[in-house]
Amino acid sequence: MEWTGARYADKPTVEVTTWIDAPPERVWALVGDIASMPDMSEELQSVEWLDGADVPAVGARFVGHSAHEALGAWSTTSHVIECEPGRVLAWAVEDPSEPSAIWRFRLRPENGGTRLSEWMQLGPGRSGLSFAIDRMPDKEQKIVFVRLREFERNITATLAHIKKRAEA
């Protein structure tokens, strides 16, 4: 990831893509299993569906419990905002009209397998990162850059886990 000098208000993004030697249906079964995501993530510790939901659908909500050595532990409620089985799954964190982040998986058939990408956007709504920026406004660009690099590393690891499971 290259230095962009992005500020939080710029709604900076990161995306990682991989090719998986498995059909989109098999990859989707893993991507859509939100409850198994903590097994593939360093930060995400556990997930629970809300309101009786147990699979992704637009409007469904889930709580994610996360932890980070520098940020502590926190929980957020996410709202599924896009869900096309076998193609796309996206959720907005906290307020869907002013999310603290948006996460999106995209699946595309390619060369007999699946091209899987995971994308995330910081902001525009406030998040835990906002408090660090409030304390050190002169370091905002560095704070954003470091966090995006962490997300890039974590997303790369998550996609590697999904790939390994889908190809097993």
What does the pLDDT read at residue 128? 86
Confidence grade of residue 4 (pLDDT, cut at 50, 70, 90): confident
Query: Distance between CA 130 and CA 151 in Å, rounded?
Result: 16
Contact of 62 with 34, CB cutoff 8 Å: yes
More confident residue, 42 or 50: 50
DSSP helix/strand/coil, 126: coil
What does the pLDDT read at residue 42? 87
Q: How many CB atoms lie within 10 A of CB 10?
A: 15
Of the candidates 162, 148, 147, 168, the one whose C-alpha atom is nearest the C-alpha of residue 71 is 147
> Is the CATH number 1.20.5.440 carried by domain 8-167?
no
Contact of 96 with 120, CB cutoff 8 Å: no
What does the pLDDT read at residue 2? 73
